[in-house]
Amino acid sequence: MVFMTDFHLQTFPPGGQILPKRKLVESNSEQGRFLYVFQRFVSALLYAACLLILTPAAHAQPVQEPARGTAERSAILNAVRPLAEAHFGAPVEFVVSWLRAGGGWAFAGVAPQRPGGAPIDLRNTVYASEADYMDGLQTYVLLRYQYDRWNVVDFAVGPTDVFWHGHPLYRQVPLGLTP
């Protein structure tokens, strides 16, 4: 027999006695405890699975600075050179302030100059009319290694802010690539 009181379902066993409320509460709390433990177990299991899957990928190709004199460093800077020469005139060499590569990406922060260290006069470049709005010739370049070579993907000359921060393109590069 089933009887409804105050929106609570109470069951009458065949003997007609009402089950004590305390017994009902204990069974509910045991069930709640089981659900809580089960949910925690599943969460821990999913967390462990994510760590196993993501950790090798994150450490597979660490971001590092290509050492001076290496082929990788030369290839990255030589990929930047045509861009710099188109903007500042040829010939150009670089003072590197930041260079990191990893995961098929590279990011360079360079100060272009003439061979031997002679400065480039901004008034004799394509930026002559914008010199007042620029922070010098410091150039930042994002590169991607594709088709067996480094390719310029994005760049900025004389930015007055951290232009890559928040830019959607830079969300896909490895951590530590940009300053």
Does 112 share its domain with 159? yes
* Domain around 26: 2-60
In a domain, 94, yes or no: yes
Does 50 share its domain with 115? no
Question: What is the pLDDT, as a whole number, of residue 84?
Answer: 97
Question: What is the pLDDT, as a whole number, of residue 9?
Answer: 53
Which parts of the chain have pLDDT scores under 50? 24-25, 55-60
Question: What is the pLDDT, as a whole number, of residue 170?
Answer: 96
Q: How many domains does the chain have?
A: 2
Question: How would DSSP label each residue in the chain?
Answer: -EEEETTEEEE--TT-PPPPHHHHHHHHHHHHHHHHHHHHHHHHHHHHHHHHHHHHHHHHS--BPPPTT-HHHHHHHHHHHHHHHHHH-S--EEEEEEEEEETTEEEEEEEEE-TTSPPP-GGGSTTGGGGGGS-TT-EEEEEEEETTEEEEEEEEES-SS-TTTT-GGGGGSPTTS--
In a domain, 8, yes or no: yes
Question: What is the pLDDT, as a whole number, of residue 1?
Answer: 52
The per-residue pLDDT for range 80-122, each reduced to its tens digit, is 999 999 999 999 999 999 999 999 999 999 999 999 999 999 9
Question: What is the pLDDT, as a whole number, of residue 33?
Answer: 74
